[in-house]
Amino acid sequence: MIISAAIAKGGTGKSTLLRALASVALKRGYAVTLIDGDVRQNMSRWAQMLKEAGNRPETLQLVSATTPREILEAAELHNGDRSVVLIDTEGTTNDNLMAGLFASDIVVVPIFFALDDVTAAIQITDHYIPLAVETRGRPLPAVFVLTKQTIIDAKARALSELRAIIQANGTPIADHALHNRVAYRDLQSGQTLYSPDQPDAKAIAESEGVFDDVLKTFTEAMRQAA
């Protein structure tokens, strides 16, 4: 399965989401390939830090792809049975982002509760995904994943309008969300969710839930398209 994380804006938790999904996939026995199509090379740095810390699984591969062609070729090469390919696209609208969408089986769109973030997420689902579908001629399901969530985000009346905008878009919203936890920040320092001596059980549970939500959304979309 090929999963891209896409939103034309930085700071939404895209890299954190990908690291969490990669952690879960590796724990479940999938061969995981990270395709780093972001000029900031966040996934490349994470893979290197995992190696230096002795936490990089043998089943994790990293491909740095700086052009649309490299993204497409890497996705095709590494996709297969019991494999998960995760594509990190740039936080802007460019050809690399479109290549990531074109190559994918499903798109995860991270959303943080802020107007600019919600607007950027809807831009992906309402404009760029339809362009990819038109070009490649087959469906491309997407799922919103709420990131960096706090108790305030879940209950604040001031955010009710943003929640309504997300719900009205019609794109499925993952049942699970990534909350604002130290465990996710620790991923930036050469860890997976499971490698610390005392893993954060809550972070693992919600990340596994998001992974299952992505699989469920893809399966349901394929059933409806059949």
Q: In this predicted model, what pLDDT tens digit does every residue of 114-163 receive, in sequence order?
A: 889 999 999 999 999 999 999 999 999 999 999 988 877 666 665 778 88
Task: Pick left, alpha or beta for residue 137 (phi over 0 → left; psi -120 to 50 → alpha; otherwise beta).
Answer: left
The residue with greater pLDDT, 30 or 159, is 30
Q: In this structure, are residues 140 and 93 in contact, taking their beta carbons and an 8 Å threshold?
A: no
CA distance 96 to 133: 16
Which stretch of DSSP H or E encloses residue 44?
Answer: helix 42-52
Place 81 in a pLDDT band, splitting at 50, 70 and 90.
confident
The residue with greater pLDDT, 40 or 194, is 194
Provide, rounded to the nearest whole percent, the portion of the chain with pLDDT above 90: 74
CA distance 53 to 16: 18
Place 92 in a pLDDT band, splitting at 50, 70 and 90.
confident
43-76: per-residue pLDDT in tens? 999 999 999 999 999 999 999 998 999 999 999 9
Q: In this structure, are residues 124 and 7 in contact, taking their beta carbons and an 8 Å threshold?
A: yes
CA distance 44 to 65: 10
Model pTM score: 0.94
- The residue length of the chain stands at 226
Average pLDDT score over the chain: 92
CATH class held by domain 2-225: alpha beta
Tally: H helices and E strands in the chain: 10, 6
Q: Is 81 helix (H, G, I), strand (E, B) or coil?
A: coil
CA distance 199 to 183: 8
